[in-house]
Amino acid sequence: MRDASRYHRLLWSATVLVALAACTAQPTPPPPAATPAQEASKASVHKEAFGSTADGAAVELYTLTNASGMEVRAMTYGGIIVSLRVPDRTGALGDVVLGYDSLDGYLKSSPYFGAIIGRYGNRIARGRFKLDGKEYKLAINNNPNALHGGRKGFDKVVWKAESFQDQRGVGVVFTYTSADGEEGYPGKLDAKVTYTLADDNSLRFEYQAVTDKPTPVNLTQHTYFNLAGDGSGDILAQELMMKASRFTPVDKTLIPTGELKSVEGTPFDFRTPTAIGARIEAKDEQITFGLGYDHNWVLDREPGGGMQLAARVHDPASGRVMEVTTTEPGLQFYSGNFLDGTLTGKGGHVYQHRAGLCLETQHYPDSPNKPDFPSTVLKPGEEYRSHTVYAFSVQKP
């Protein structure tokens, strides 16, 4: 009897425990719900094969689309932006960058269309510089100077890539390790460039790098823009504003003289919006050296750093506007002077003189040989960081 009642008490306790456990057990949590904004967003990332390089490396193409339909296509070869479709004032999307329809065009001959530039954007005089008492010699690929990282710069290598989609938008993270001594530069450099397309029609570039030996680093992006649309003629009627009271004049090989010259009273004054063509043929030695505009402007920056407005381009015909903000001290405005009708790009468009413009955020050219310019030397233990945003909108006539 005592055993039976103990048995019943045990049975009862066990039943209560099971019941209690059932009441308190948490169901497996569902995956975190998308925010209403994310749910409504039609943003997407899509990856596809885009051919292979001469040595057989596979190249992939990422298509980033934001909620309002703006679309960027970028590939792992050179991080090249192959197309950028942006609305005009009627809402119609148009491709506003120059380039080719397929990888082949880029492999054959490209004046850095759409590419990441590194390890050093723009020129280093005679391809030489001294660092910590040692002289380094780079390839001379723009006689008599070194240009845009060398014969095989960051524009001609295949980057690793990973896409993402989160509150910031849709994007791709490109990574590349440049070996110690590559193109003559000292130190192994781990570079990372993140492209983010946000729902507000802005395209952000975040550059990061670390090194194991002191080395000059100056990363930028070499997209050729034509806000009226790729293949629509030259960019001379488009209006440019650059927030810069000074520029760095050059010698006839396009190496800065070291002077920071006032733009006042020169064809280089873009402090108020001015048509690019208005003074591009001016009788001016600097214009002659550049065959037009191919210079670095010294941005007027507020103290304290951070992202600041550098430039604004407006195409009166389409109403498209592009605003450039950056953490960099300089901006290379290149008016496509070396385009001469010998390259046939997307959709059979022949790229005539000045069919596109580049606004490359950067440190000043030849800084490794100009102790008075802001330094471009990255040391072990430091992190190189540079941010630039190209934001697109429209302006009513």
**What backbone torsions phi and psi does residue 314 show, to the nearest 5 degrees?**
-130, 130
Q: Which two tokens stand for residue 38?
A: 């994310």
Phi, then psi, of 218 in degrees rounded to 5 = -155, 90
From the list 28-36, 128-136, 332-340, 371-379, the region that binds ligand BGC by CB under 6 A is 332-340
Q: Does 136 bind ligand BGC (CB under 6 A)?
A: no
Residue with Cβ nearer ligand BGC (111 or 231) = 111
Q: What b/e string do you get for 209-233 counting C-beta neighbours within 10 Å, with b at 16 or more?
A: bbbebebbbbbbbbbbbbbbbbbbe
Residue in the block written with tokens 């065959």: 291
Beta-carbon contacts of residue 4 (< 8 Å; ≥ 6 apart):
none
Q: Residue count at the site for ligand BGC (CB under 6 A)?
A: 10
Catalytic residue list contains 360 = yes
**Contact string 354-383 vs ligand BGC (x = CB under 6 A):** ----x-x-----------------------
Nearest partner of 242 among 148, 318, 316, 314, judged by Cα: 314
**Residue nearest ligand BGC, CB atom distance:** 111
Per-residue binding letters, 141-180, with ligand BGC (x by CB under 6 A): ----------------------------------------
Q: From the list 77, 225, 334, 392, which residue makes contact with ligand BGC (rule: CB under 6 A)?
A: 334
Q: Is 238 in the site for ligand BGC (CB under 6 A)?
A: no
Q: How far is the CB of 199 from ligand BGC (least distance, A)?
A: 31
In the set 148, 222, 314, 363, the catalytic residue is 222
Q: What is the DSSP string of 313-378?
A: EE-TTT-EEEEEEES-SEEEEE--TT--S--B-GGG-B--TTS-BEEEEESPTTGGG-TTSPP-EE
Q: What is the closest distance, in whole angstroms, from the C-beta atom of residue 60 to ligand BGC in the complex?
A: 25
**Residue in 199, 294, 328, 366 binding ligand BGC, rule: CB under 6 A:** 294
Residues 6+ positions from 19 with CB-CB distance below 8 Å: none
User: Which range touches ligand BGC (CB under 6 A), out of 51-59, 127-135, 299-307, 331-339?
Assistant: 331-339
Q: Which of 77, 112, 129, 364 binds ligand BGC (CB under 6 A)?
A: 112
Amino acid at 240: L
Closer residue to ligand BGC (CB): 43 or 115: 115
Bridge-partner residues for 204, per DSSP?
A: 196, 389
C-beta closer to ligand BGC: residue 237 or 291: 291
Q: Does 122 bind ligand BGC (CB under 6 A)?
A: yes
Question: Which phi and psi angles does 215 have, rounded to 5°?
Answer: -155, 150
Nearer to ligand BGC, 136 or 338 (CB): 338
Rg (CA), the chain: 26
Distance CA 357, CA 339 (A): 10
Based on the shown chain and the rule CB under 6 A, indicate whether residue 338 belongs to the binding site for ligand BGC.
yes
Structure tokens at 182: 């590559």
Task: Tell me if residue 182 falls in helix, strand or coil.
Answer: helix
Catalytic member of 60, 314, 360, 363: 360
Residue 292 binds ligand BGC, judged by CB under 6 A? no
Other C-beta atoms closer than 10 Å to the C-beta of 260 total 16
Tell me which of 332, 335, 361, 386 binds ligand BGC, using CB under 6 A: 332
- Residue with smaller CB distance to ligand BGC, 254 or 280: 254
Binding positions for ligand BGC, rule: CB under 6 A: 111-112, 122, 254, 294, 332, 334, 338, 358, 360
List, by residue number, the catalytic residues: 222, 360
